[in-house]
């Protein structure tokens, strides 16, 4: 097969591993900088141009689109879909998962466990908003934040009110969530491919920090997950319409709750913690499912 990987750099661990695995399995692979693509959008013959050449003949495309380039990246991916190229994750599913508010609403509609979450616009509603999520301590999140950036733990009512007021004053959209204290600064990253959790790791925040992201200095270790956690992760990915996803789960007193569904999960942490060749599993999934023209939104909303 001829496979395109949409990535800003071939030196990134995840991109490099996907290239290695696909090449070892006999595929022709090319890394394409999504921001250097430009498109001819026509009803008869849509095309993608890249550094002066026309891209054609690709059987599958693997999107590794960073959050900062979601709009342009998904536009390019959509163009590949229009040309009949099989996407590992579809453009509409990536857009859906990147919108934190929309994704939580969709997960809620499917009855998937979530932290109590509030969303408001007017400063006059702050006091009631805090009460609605169970009071302080609570977590305040920027809707556009990634890798733990823009996530604040407010330990007192006064701190919560001050931070929320500050964000609202900047006309920034935020979510307010209950703080799952019993999780102890740890979460579970479930790597979902198709309808299976193929690998799982426990991420533990460093001392004095509540965010468990590896980019924030957290550590990763192999963990066993329960059947309920496994089912929750698979259902969350399916609700987003994602074939491949990193589903972040907290262990709460009322069962597993989903924090986020990541449409471009990194491979480095999960492969090192579990010792599994996750990149090869991704390529194997493409081999089984790639077929010209086989696109169409798997999820809804």
pLDDT tens digits, residue range 126-167? 999 999 999 989 999 888 756 557 788 899 999 999 999 998
Q: How far apart are CA 20 and CA 269, in angstroms?
A: 17
Q: Where in the chain is the domain with CATH 3.40.50.20?
A: 2-96
Sign of CA dihedral 211, 274, 199, 290: positive
The phi, psi pair for 184, rounded to 5°, reads 60, 35
Residue 33: both structure tokens together: 């900088």
Helix (H) or strand (E) holding 227: helix 227-240
CB 20 within 8 A of CB 279: yes
- pLDDT value, residue 217: 57
- pLDDT value, residue 145: 58
- The residue among 70, 59, 60, 81 whose CA lies nearest residue 34 is 70
The length of the chain is: 301
Torsion of CA 83, 88, 92, 96, to 10 degrees: -170
- pLDDT value, residue 272: 94
Let me know if domain 182-287 sits in CATH 3.40.30.10: no
- pLDDT value, residue 295: 58
- pLDDT value, residue 300: 45
By CB atoms closer than 10 A (0-12, 13-18, 19+), residue 57 is exposed
- pLDDT value, residue 209: 58
User: Does pTM top 0.85 for this prediction?
Assistant: yes
State the CATH class of domain 2-96: alpha beta
The packing angle between helices 13-24 and 278-289, to 10°, is 60
Residue 22: both structure tokens together: 């696909």
By CB atoms closer than 10 A (0-12, 13-18, 19+), residue 272 is middle
- pLDDT value, residue 143: 81
Q: Where in the chain is the domain with CATH 3.30.1490.20?
A: 117-179
Which of left, alpha, beta for 168 (phi over 0: left; psi -120 to 50: alpha)?
alpha
Q: What is the CATH T-level fold of the domain 117-179, as seen in this structure?
A: Dna Ligase; domain 1 (3.30.1490)
Helix (H) or strand (E) holding 54: strand 53-55
Low-confidence stretches of the chain (pLDDT < 70) are 43, 145-148, 208-217, 291-301
Q: Where in the chain is the domain with CATH 3.30.470.20?
A: 182-287
By CB atoms closer than 10 A (0-12, 13-18, 19+), residue 237 is buried
178 Cβ contact partners less than 8 Å away, ≥ 6 residues apart:
115, 116, 117, 133, 134, 138, 139
């Amino acid at each position: 097969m001829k496979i395109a990987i949409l990535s800003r750099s071939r030196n990134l661990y995840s991109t490099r591993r996907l290239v290695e695995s696909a090449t070892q399995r006999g595929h022709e692979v090319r890394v394409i900088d999504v921001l250097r693509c430009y498109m001819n959008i026509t009803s008869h013959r849509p095309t993608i141009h890249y550094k002066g050449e026309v891209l054609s003949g690709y059987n599958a495309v693997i999107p590794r689109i960073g959050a900062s380039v979601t709009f342009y990246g998904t536009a390019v991916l959509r163009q590949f879909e229009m040309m009949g190229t099989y996407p590992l994750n579809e453009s509409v599913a990536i857009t859906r998962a990147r919108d934190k508010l929309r994704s939580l609403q969709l997960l809620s509609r499917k009855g998937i466990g979530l932290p109590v979450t509030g969303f408001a616009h007017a400063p006059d509603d702050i006091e009631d908003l805090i009460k609605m999520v169970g009071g302080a301590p609570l977590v305040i999140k920027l809707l556009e934040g990634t890798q733990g950036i823009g996530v604040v733990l407010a330990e007192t009512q006064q701190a919560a009110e001050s931070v929320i007021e500050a964000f609202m004053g900047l006309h920034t959209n935020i979510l307010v969530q209950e703080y799952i204290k019993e999780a102890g600064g740890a979460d579970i990253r479930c790597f979902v491919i198709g309808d299976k959790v193929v690998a799982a790791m426990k991420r533990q925040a460093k001392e004095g920090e509540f965010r468990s992201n590896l980019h924030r200095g957290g550590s990763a270790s192999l963990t066993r997950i329960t059947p309920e956690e496994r089912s929750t992760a698979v259902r969350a990915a399916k609700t987003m319409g994602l074939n491949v996803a990193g589903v972040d789960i907290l262990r709460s007193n009322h069962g597993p709750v989903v924090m986020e569904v990541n449409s471009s999960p990194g491979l480095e942490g999960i492969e090192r913690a579990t010792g599994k060749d996750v990149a090869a599993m991704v390529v194997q999934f493409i081999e089984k499912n790639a077929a010209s023209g086989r696109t169409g939104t798997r999820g809804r909303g």
